[in-house]
Structure 1
Amino acid sequence: MKRLSLFLLVVLCISTVSSCVILSPKKYKALLAKQDSLNVGWSDAQSKNESLEQRINRLKKDTAALNGQIAELRGQFNEMDANYTKLRSNSSSEINKLSGDLKKREQRLKEVEEILRKRDEATNQLKAKLQEALLGFTKNGLTVEIKNGKVYVSLTDKLLFPSGSIIIDEKGKQALTQLAAVLKQQPEINIAVEGHTDSQKITNLGQIKDNWDLSVLRSTSVVRFLTEEQKVESVRMTATGKGEFQPLGPNTTAESRSKNRRIEIVLSPKLDELYDLIKQ
């Protein structure tokens, strides 16, 4: 700024000397005013220049930060691209493996379905044979049903036992003999004999304490007759007592109590083949 002022004074002096004209006070003041205006303009220019430099520096920093972010994103992209390439290279082998597993599962499912179909077919055939063999006992309360893939032969106590007894009477032996003839032709059938009673308390039955005892002893009597006298394989037999706790109906009438007092012979096909498949 001082150099500019000096320069202006020199110019003024030269112009004054060269023209040999003495400036009037009015012109001199005008020149001073012009000098001040130039000084202000110079100051404003310098301020603006400094502001622009600050903005340039800020933009440079922003640019550097953006370049860093771009570099980081480029690295992530390259990593993802490498992973994608790796997945594509492995996809065919994994798809082939999954396809093989699915085929094995489908084959196993078909085998299970075939075994179950054969079981249902065998169960229906067994029911038909039993109904035919035991037809003469249906009037005495014998029924043959299929429930949950098993055949249930239900015999009321009056068909098998005298009242309060665990000794099978002659009519009961006839029914069990007919049943045993069918069972001996079906070696793949498991046999469970279940004893059931009504809810009335037992009195005057000697060592038989309660309905539990009565149901168990009656079921074991049936098992002994089938195995010892009719030669049904013992390994296929199971004897259980259910007492009064699985009634067919309420124990409110003599008729319903009679239905609840029963022996149920539950026949179920052996499913060893199916179990072996499931374990695989």
Structure 2
Amino acid sequence: MTTEKPAAPSHVGVLGGGRMGAGIAHAFLLAGARVRVVERDAASAEAASERIVESIGRSVERDSALDASEILGRLECGADYAAFGACDLVVEAVPEDRALKEASLANVEAAMPETAVLASNTSSISIDDLAAGRGKPERFLGLHFFNPVPASRLVEIVQGATTDPAIVEAARDWVRALGKTPIVVRDSPGFASSRLGVMLGLEAIRMLEEGVASAEDIDAAMTLGYRHPMGPLRTTDIVGLDVRLGIAEELAATLGPRFEPPPLLRTMVADGRLGRKSGEGFYTWTSAPAENGNGR
């Protein structure tokens, strides 16, 4: 008896074509979907397209069975929300700002079909809070992808109090169709991954701040001692110090002072040392990829 492989939605929309949005688009393109990426303006849409083309090119170099022309023929990038009008699923992937996400989700919902599913890639903001403004909260959930999306094996499905269980089961299949593993968590501050990951990252920053050890040695303690694939400070650089700060502030507001961001993190963000995307964080990055306004 053979088990049929789950299929991705036929038409997928992604709001935001920065690092996360481009990675999400990449994943669905490789799974066979038509993907429409919407950005804030034409220049940002062009930058998103270039980012995705480059990313797909790297996948094609690794797998000669992939046809870049066929894959990219299913991609559209623009600045008009009307592009979401034919989508089965739309994933919001704008920066981790509550007001921005609420406004963006309202614009997406107004453009997408009533039968479509709307998801947020938020890593810390309450799905129930975001669902409160939705016309169809039962068709809304969290799909938390991890950076870099093409290489990451995990997607965290966040089920809100009003999310239809059938939508959650459909999301499980969509994630499996991407070749990734889904986990399902109920809506709670930081969900599972951000809550654990941020706590470890914040403590590592405090240790660096206190002069306990160098960034390299703190990271080595976790990669060599606990077999983590990457240390917490290098991970913070890749995620973005501004993103990690935003998540920590959200968790501190809901879970208390144990998530209060260390002064060093606030100082580095204020100085523009955001990690890999700025070229400087806890480490120096020689090739910092360009980001746009919707990039995380």
What TM-score range do you get, normalising by the shorter chain? under 0.3
Over alpha carbons, which structure has the higher Rg?
1
Q: Higher helix share goes to which structure?
A: 1
- TM-score, normalised to structure 1's length? 0.26
